[in-house]
Chain A
Amino acid sequence: MKPAPIISKATLKYPFYQSPAACGFTSPAADYLQDTLSLDQLLIRHPAATFFARAQGCSMEGAGIFDGDILIIDRSLTPGDGDVILTLLDGELIVKRLVYRNGKPRLHSEHPDYPPIKLNNEQSLNVWGVVTEVIHHLR
């Protein structure tokens, strides 16, 4: 077997035609061709402040967050009562729902097995970012 010359493929230049050669009528839809839909545009408001993380565990299933789901986190948002947040607790990043009771923050899970976490005096609320979206794969 004789190998084809190496150089030919590397140096041959093919012209690239943006539109196909004309045969018959041009597509009547050509003028209406739009850009495809972008998920970034839909899901990301502040690119510089947006990060992704993978959920591990089942404590937030009631909020629609399942083990293995991808979370979209926007750090630029101010966390408010009822927001699902990524927070730093005892040196660990965890996902919980932020709930204010009598002006005091609590971290709620969304699963019957996990009771709410009241922050004690040594634990201050340290929010990493607000979880804005969940990407859940169905297969």
Chain B
Amino acid sequence: MKPVIALCDANSFYCSCEQVFNPALLNKALGVLSNNDGCIVARTPQLKVLGVAMGTPAFKVREQVARGEIILRSSNYALYGDMSSRFMSVLEQFTPTLEVYSIDEAFADLSGFPPEQLESIGQEMKQRVFRWTGLPIGVGISTTKTLAKLANYAAKKYPATGGAVDLTNPERQKRLMAITPVGEVWGVGRRIGRKLEAHGIHTAGQLANSNRQWIKKQFSVVLERTVCELQGESCLPWEEGGVVNKHQILCSRSFGKRVTTKQELHAALACYISHACEKLRNQKQFAREAIVFIRTDPFNQSLSQTGRSIRLQVPEPTSETGIWLRQLPAALDAMFCEGYEYKKAGFILMDLCKVQGFQGDLLNMDALPDNRPMMSVLDAINRRYGRQILRPASVGFEQQNWHMNQQLLSPGYTTHWQHIMGVKS
């Protein structure tokens, strides 16, 4: 039997998170900025309509912001991380097999559901995520990941679908692919799209019908796999454990048996942390933020439920396992409660940057052969004389100079008691 896969992703995720807690932002041209308030990295449809492209530097829309036509927010990773884990845990009520692909999207295994019910299950997923979390999502269902992505594209592109599309029927697949530009296919992108068009392949349907061997020779084995997937042959493995993409690295597992003690969670999370950091170093990247989460099995409503996540931050981007590990006990102390059967834990590295992307050679793990003694002296001094009293001179001498520029930061609605939303009563 063919697998059935749903791709669920949140619409303008960062913007939606902001809107859930601040209704004044609803239906507005809203953009969320990257770190240091640099560029726009998330846009509402109203902002897209104004022609503001992804990656537009904040200063370029300064005048429109001053006139009140555009609203900008700093990225609030604490909020987004918390909302993401809520989103995923609602999805897990539908299926225990979930591949969290990024902070705002996940593949859900729906194999085994009666085919005629898939469309309504998709609608139900969408409605329940919205009701529980306030996040609008789109759901695309099909037999391969690439087709599920395509179905999701249709769910968003065509409002008549109600935001959920069942694309398991091959005839329906053909009809949709015939009208979908090849550049919209997952894994094609702009550059390969242009090259395909030069060869006369303009639609997803034409790509699906092209010769695999030729694709492999002219392009790559990766694109050949995409063609297979469009033809309904599942080629991309199910990766429940760890996923790498350019924005974050996630390592998480559902436990084989129920876990009830802090020690077991610590062991599991320590493993995920070292795994994630290893991947990070392999990518020659550094991270400044991470989210660690633990939760019970939302699929089993007969048990008491809990789900907690905590954001970890380091002053300088790092790929050193130890630096993240050191934060784990305190994080677990804050999250762990006795009396629950934990089903899943995970660690997400966020806010990734390239080695060259920061000035911090004193802390650059790859710059020195063995920096651990230096690191411990540094830490010890900072511990005794106050946080970050010793820091690279290139960072500057003003207090807290390296803190992110977040002038437009929304409150930590779900992570700080002082920041919870005020409501009129």
Contact = CB atoms under 8 A, between A and B. Distances in A.
B423 A54 contact: yes
Contacts of A71: 423
B157 to A, nearest CB: 26
B305 A57 contact: no
Interface of B: 23-24, 26, 85-86, 89-90, 131-134, 295, 298, 304-308, 337-339, 376-377, 379-381, 383-384, 413-414, 417, 420-425
Contacts of A128: 134
Contacts of B417: 52
Contacts of A55: 423, 425
B330 to A, nearest CB: 15
B306 A40 contact: yes
A57 B424 contact: yes
A105 to B, nearest CB: 17
A41 B139 CA distance: 32
Given A46-B132, A47-B307, A75-B134, A93 B421 contact: yes
17 contacts: A6-B381, A10-B377, A11-B376, A38-B338, A45-B305, A47-B86, A47-B307, A47-B308, A48-B89, A48-B298, A49-B131, A49-B132, A53-B420, A57-B425, A60-B425, A71-B423, A92-B23
Given A10-B379, A38-B339, A55-B425, A93 B23 contact: yes
A58 interface: yes
Contacts, number: 108
B423 A56 contact: yes
A99 B194 CA distance: 59
A122 interface: no
A35 B339 contact: yes
B305 to A, nearest CB: 6
Contacts of B423: 53-56, 71, 86, 93-95
Interface of A is mostly: mixed
A53 B23 contact: no
B339 A41 contact: yes
Contacts of A15: none
B424 A75 contact: no
A45 B302 CA distance: 11
B338 A47 contact: no
A48 to B, nearest CB: 4
A23 to B, nearest CB: 25
A125 interface: no
Contact of B305 (A11, A47, A88, A91): A47
A100 interface: no
A134 B85 CA distance: 25
A95 B24 contact: no
Contact of B304 (A41, A51, A67): A41
A55 B424 CA distance: 6
Nearest to B421: A53
A45 B301 CA distance: 10
A6 B26 CA distance: 53
A48 B307 contact: yes
B131 A65 contact: no
A102 to B, nearest CB: 26
Interface in A26-73: 35-36, 38, 40-41, 44-49, 51-60, 65, 67, 70-71
Nearest to B27: A91
A56 B339 contact: no
B338 A75 contact: no
Nearest to A49: B132
B338 A56 contact: no
A88 B423 CA distance: 10
B377 A6 contact: yes
A7 interface: yes
Given A6-B377, A36-B338, 7 more contacts: A7-B376, A45-B305, A47-B89, A49-B90, A49-B131, A56-B425, A76-B131
A9 interface: yes
A75 B133 contact: yes
Contacts of A76: 131-132
Given A38-B339, A48-B298, A56 B422 contact: yes
A40 B424 CA distance: 25
Contact of B23 (A48, A59, A88): A88
A86 B20 CA distance: 13
Contacts of A86: 423
A75 B132 contact: yes
Contacts of A45: 305
Given A10-B377, A86-B423, A94-B424, A46 B305 contact: yes
